Structure 1
Amino acid sequence: MKGLTYILLFMTFFLCHGQEDSLLRKLDQAEGRERVEILHNIIINVWLNYPKQAMGYGEEAFEVSRQIGDSALISKSLRLIAGVHYYKGDYDHSLEYNLKALEIALSLNDSSLINNGYNNIGLLYYNLGSYQTALEYLLKSKDMKARIGEVYGLSTTLNNIGLVFERIHDYATARKYFEEAYDVAIETQNTDNELYSINNIGITYLREGNLDVAIKYFRRGLILGEDIANINWGAVSARGIGEVLMLSGVKDSIQYFLEKSIKASESIDDKKGLAEGYFLLAKNSLSNEEFVDALAHLSKCEGWANQIQIRQQQLDNLHLYADIYERMGDTEKVNEYLKQYIQLRDSLFQDVISRNLSLIPIKIKEEQDRYLMSEQQIKFKDQVIRNQLFTAIIIITVPLLVVMIVLFRKNEKKKKELQKNNEELKKTQKLLITSEKMASLGVLAAGVGHEINNPLNFIKNGIEALSKKMEGKTDDEMKTYFRIVNEGVERATNIVKSLSHFSRRSPSTDEPCNIHEIIENCLLILHNKIRNKIRVVTNFTSEATELRGNEGRLHQAMMNIIANAEQAIKDEGTIEINTKKVGDYMEIWIEDDGEGIPEENLLKISDPFFTTKPPGEGTGLGLFITFSIVEEHGGSIDVKSNLNEGSKFIIKLPLWNE
């Protein structure tokens, strides 16, 4: 098999260089424009399989074009250099050169150069994840080709449009464009695009799960790729066969086809193909529970993907890492890679936005060029036509101005309504927060009347009087009863006193607050719910514990978190509370071994009105208020949780520093 690979590479080299040798002989005698055009032809012959060689020819073509001052040749040279970067998988540099080429083409108003630029830029934005922008450029290219009757390159553009629809999972529409591209390739006898289309059609059937049809297209592609010595698309066909076999559960030949695709990609330095091949090998190893091999293959895939910044592949890699470690039972690694996945996904989203914003100057330049072209045409028309045009503009502009004025007034009215609604929403939010606070106090203070301190004092004074009166007349048993009653009264008094901390109305968050006393007060209030069920372990730091904040609000925040921990423990369990000083902040760790929080709910627990409790048992504002209180104190909350293992809340609050 290894020998066959070398034979195939030698034949490819021979066929490519057969055409190239003829061009090189002409190149020896050529100068100026003729030399540039020969260099362009050589680049197209070798850029797919020998990108380094193609890059050297491209740089020479650009330099000669610049020396003779031919803008059209400069634009084409830039576009071909961009093509070499594309086949190397370097999309950012390819986009840079294509945008420069398009700018020159627009200034020349060269339809052929412009529509090729639209096609190439559209394909690049597809690879960079900007699908809407990609489709916009590709459809421009298709429409311009139809308008000027240019068939050359139409098959490529149709294939590229299909790729966009395939990526957004509209496989039927994608296949329509791929089949149309195939027909054009057959008509124009373009075997490379014929192979490109065959592979793309196979991919749509693969994604739809129609594996029997998919593998037929990939086998056709593999045979055609070997016939025409197209190593790149032949490698795609081999990967497609390997993926179909993997999904079909046929294990015998998967490794063979995937390794065949990797060897082909290595021979032409196709980094994108290498990344895709190793990714599929990693998935295959995972399906066989060969975790070490899966990680090794995925590491190689990651290296290639990172080297050429294949965004979608980087995302897929992180997700596959999480899947592998999940099968290995390493929860910490799973969480680590899922966190990286979310961060990269959000970062790519921001990149797409930035990239779309960067298009604004280019689109403005397009409009300016069109305007200048129209202005030049107007100069050749007589005065009557100019007057008619001016009148038409007035007729069009006046209604537009009227519409704009009406829309402006409506927008102003909507803006005022929106401001009013925002103010009402803020008021409603404050009322809801207050309502939640008062609801919590109502549950905590159930059965405790407004005048409870008076009867407590009566009981205490009565017991003291009775004790004095019976002094010397009571036995040890009676003394024990007196002591128990006194302790009960003292405990009830402390509970009422603790409740007062939750009803403090001071708006200031610049008061010294003892966090240990606050936590002890909360535990005292929850004593009846906790006792005989939950063991509370406190490990308080001996360093300064005063925080800068609002004591009433901090009582409310701590109470919500500890109460949630108590509710998470259905039978028996432990709540552990630790404090430690970290710089100018105090960290409070509240950890329980209860039910835990499902992963899909972790990002929602700070949302208002989010609750997993049955209707009538929770408003969904407790943790929302808690997060709000901590944030208004300049602090932060980090939540870690594993289902059926428990949760840990890490609260960070600023210390009191005079």
Structure 2
Amino acid sequence: MLNRVTRWLRGAPITDEVDRRNAPVMQLLLLFYGIALPANWAWHLSSRPIPEGWTIVLVLDLITASLALFSVFLIRRGDFRLAIKLFVGALLASLLLAYHMLGAQAQLIDQVSVILTLVISGLVLGRRALWIVFALLMVIFAVGFVADANNAEQTAQWIRNSMRNAPSLVLSYLIITIILDRTLTALRESLAESNARRRELQLEMAERERAQAQLIHAQKLEATGRLASGVAHDFNNILDVILGFSYQRHRLQDVGSDRERSDALADSLEGVEVAAKRGTAITRKLLSFSRSDLLKLQVFDVTQALSELQPMLRQLFPPTVRLESVTDTAPLPVRMDRSELELMILNIAANARDAMPEGGRFLVATRRAGDSVEIAMTDDGHGMDEQVQRHIFEPFFTTKSAADGTGLGLSVIRDIAAAAGGDIRVDSAIGKGSTFYLRLPLVETEPAAL
């Protein structure tokens, strides 16, 4: 029940953030005012008659209660400030008439309405409204003291009461107004600073995301560049195959029967088709990998992704490096951007190639490790000492020359792995090669479209 009431109070369609937070309390206050004033008068009138001269107070209280309930209706429509102005105006008008009809001395015993008017105007409507209301209250007090003077039987008695009450009354409300003003100013300045810092943080986060995306794209282009020589060599092989099959047309004339020539021609065209499809697959994979797209999370099988990445890995290594793969037979589904996984594997493979200038072996192995999949990438290169291992994932740290590396590849890999909920570590020794262990969290669902 309480949660339902809270949701109802917060459900007013108010656009301003501060007003939206003030709306629940103000609605409760207005509802209390609209119900409590008539109920209080009903309780008093049930046991005693209305005091002489207080009929005007009864009428004013009932009007104020009605306007309080109408203000709640306005807040529910989204007119928050109009509702508060209407209620404050009703309180001021009620005070003015009461002070005019009954005088200031009769009103000094109950100052709730006066203080409430100051507090609401300051907290909700701001500093300007606070001082305007203070000035109007001073006018109302003056009207009340004039009414006391007109009603006083002896002028000397009125002067004594006024001199005793007026200065302290004005000074008290001046102090209250100043305290409210300073408190409101501090709160609003703090809110403004908080909002400014929040906007700066949002801009900084957006800028970091753009920079990270640009960095990942640059790493993709760098990896694509490293593949270029291998791709060119592979395309030369493909073209040689196509040319070889096309040259067979000259030998078809020596084939005896038409059927044999037709079969030989079909075999040649099939070979051309296979070679062309292989070239198309390589170019399509390179274009898909190097393009700059928004992050596209998907569920896919790591084993299948690594299998389809094999042709690109072969292009990366020279013939002196043997590429091996040991994969788990069970599906290993993960959720991340597939091109980012490919970028991580290719970056580590490129570093392995540079660590094996005389050739060797590069092994990619996958296995299930609890709730994660572990991808181990091992090379037979020169390895790293402990000091290098402590710094390899730091941005711009590299043991290569400025022309050969930027020191960002492994840093990007670490950030991508962390963003996917995983991690990466290295095990290496001088002269014994290196093994990078990439862990990514498994997902429960089966792989979607791969």
TM bucket by the smaller chain? 0.3 to 0.5
Q: TM-score, normalised by structure 1?
A: 0.32
The higher relative CO (CA closer than 8 Å, separation ≥ 6) is in 2
* Greater fraction of residues in helix: 1
Larger radius of gyration between Structure 1 and Structure 2? 2
TM-score (normalizing by structure 2)? 0.45
